[in-house]
């Protein structure tokens, strides 16, 4: 049988904190790991996107390497996936400019993440990079001719913009880009904060007490889950409207154990919230403990990590430079040689 060309996936994660959280993992990263078995996978640590929050250089450097270490620790295999740092591939910025010239000002202004973040800080303290953030993201994706983009629910609108920009370019300048689809799970695409179970778990939450970090000590996560906010009543049933806290914990529990919600509900039939929270805490901690150790071990050898990322950058550059050359050609930019 002829070798069928594998579909391509691309995704990215920001190195804005020392640790990823369980929302990142269940919403996106778990799918990154699974998809590398069946797809030609490109995964990047999007350090340029992280500049929109004005990070301290020492922290950014540390967090970028810590991000790569965590990705390998959760199961991204650099022999199967191309793992790289966004700023190592200059074509991301180059294509972003071209996409900026195709994006309407109003269109960019309608991005809800931009609206929410800029509303919080006010116009004078909102950087232009935050406004163009989704356009750089579109460039990340289009550059690799990705078919699918595994992300959490909060990225749906950015993927839609990417599709619009790709289609706009293709219809104006001729077929150049693959139009990608979001790969967004039905369950797990939005993990909520354990203390505020109607808001998403987020690295930028005011309080970290409802955020489960991959790199936190097991006892810290155990405590956070055991003190998760629950609802009135005592039955463990999935009901997002009336039992947001329990439903969120059920989503986490089933995503990690692989059980169905029905099976989990049956297992806890007649037991109270306390028993259920202890069980969730146990499976989460058992799952995260080896990941944390593996990431810590990888961080002991930064030279090895750097070598992996350099190899990834070479592979990524090879693909990205072809797309960029085709894009320049389609636009009528004169090649240098």
Shortest Cβ distance from residue 226 to ligand TYM (Å)? Answer: 20
Shortest Cβ distance from residue 211 to ligand TYM (Å)? Answer: 9
Nearer to ligand TYM, 113 or 257 (CB): 113
8 Å CB contact between 68 and 309: yes
The interface mask with ligand TYM, positions 197-236, x = CB under 6 A, is ---xxx----------------------------------
d(CA 8, CA 127): 32
d(CA 221, CA 324): 44
Residue in 251, 280, 294, 324 with CA at minimum distance from that of residue 68: 294
24 binds ligand TYM (CB under 6 A): yes
Nearer to ligand TYM, 155 or 254 (CB): 155
251 binds ligand TYM (CB under 6 A): no
Q: Where on the phi/psi map is residue 17: left (φ > 0), alpha (ψ -120 to 50), or beta?
A: beta
d(CA 77, CA 80): 5
Strand partners, 181: 148
Shortest Cβ distance from residue 310 to ligand TYM (Å)? Answer: 20
Among 8, 9, 19, 23, binds ligand TYM (CB under 6 A): 23
User: Segment contacting ligand TYM (CB under 6 A): 11-19, 101-109, 163-171, 212-220?
Assistant: 11-19
Nearer to ligand TYM, 158 or 163 (CB): 158
Q: In what order do the strands lie in the sheet with 148-150?
A: 81-85, 40-45, 8-13, 148-150, 181-183
Q: Cβ atoms within 10 A of the Cβ of 223, count?
A: 13
d(CA 55, CA 69): 19
Q: Cβ atoms within 10 A of the Cβ of 303, count?
A: 6
Nearer to ligand TYM, 18 or 235 (CB): 18
Q: Which residues are catalytic?
A: 117, 200, 203
d(CA 159, CA 113): 13
36 binds ligand TYM (CB under 6 A): no
Nearer to ligand TYM, 8 or 158 (CB): 158
Shortest Cβ distance from residue 115 to ligand TYM (Å)? Answer: 15
User: Segment contacting ligand TYM (CB under 6 A): 22-30, 103-111, 220-228, 275-283?
Assistant: 22-30
151 binds ligand TYM (CB under 6 A): yes
Among 8, 19, 27, 143, binds ligand TYM (CB under 6 A): 27
């Amino acid at each position: 049988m002829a070798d069928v060309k594998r579909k391509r996936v691309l995704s990215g994660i920001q190195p804005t904190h020392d640790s990823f959280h369980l929302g990142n993992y269940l919403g996106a990263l778990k799918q990154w790991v699974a998809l590398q078995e069946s797809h030609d996978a490109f995964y990047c640590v999007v350090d340029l996107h992280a500049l929109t929050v004005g990070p301290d250089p020492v922290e950014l450097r540390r967090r970028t390497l810590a991000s790569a270490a965590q990705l390998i620790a959760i199961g991204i295999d650099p022999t199967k996936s191309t793992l790289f740092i966004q700023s190592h591939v200059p074509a991301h910025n180059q294509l972003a400019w071209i996409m900026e010239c195709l994006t309407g000002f109003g269109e960019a202004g309608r991005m809800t993440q931009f609206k929410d973040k800029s509303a919080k800080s006010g116009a004078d303290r909102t950087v232009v990079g935050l406004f163009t953030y989704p356009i750089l993201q579109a460039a990340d994706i289009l550059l690799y001719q990705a078919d699918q983009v595994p992300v959490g629910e909060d990225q749906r609108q950015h993927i839609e913009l990417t599709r619009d920009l790709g289609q706009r370019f293709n219809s104006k300048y001729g077929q150049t880009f693959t139009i990608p689809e979001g790969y967004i799970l039905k369950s797990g695409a939005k993990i909520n904060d354990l203390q505020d179970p109607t808001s998403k778990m987020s690295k930028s939450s005011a309080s970290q007490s409802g955020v489960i970090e991959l790199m936190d000590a097991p006892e810290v996560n155990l405590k956070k889950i055991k003190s998760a906010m629950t609802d009135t009543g005592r039955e463990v049933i999935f009901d997002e409207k009336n039992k947001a806290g329990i439903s969120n914990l059920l989503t986490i529990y089933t995503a990690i154990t692989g059980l169905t919600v029905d099976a989990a509900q049956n297992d806890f039939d007649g037991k109270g919230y306390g028993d259920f929270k202890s069980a969730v805490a146990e499976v989460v901690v058992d799952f995260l403990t080896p990941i944390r150790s593996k990431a810590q071990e990888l961080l002991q050898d930064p030279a090895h990590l750097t070598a992996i990322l350099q190899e990834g950058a070479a592979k990524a550059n090879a693909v990205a430079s072809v797309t960029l050359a085709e894009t320049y050609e389609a636009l009528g930019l004169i090649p240098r040689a």
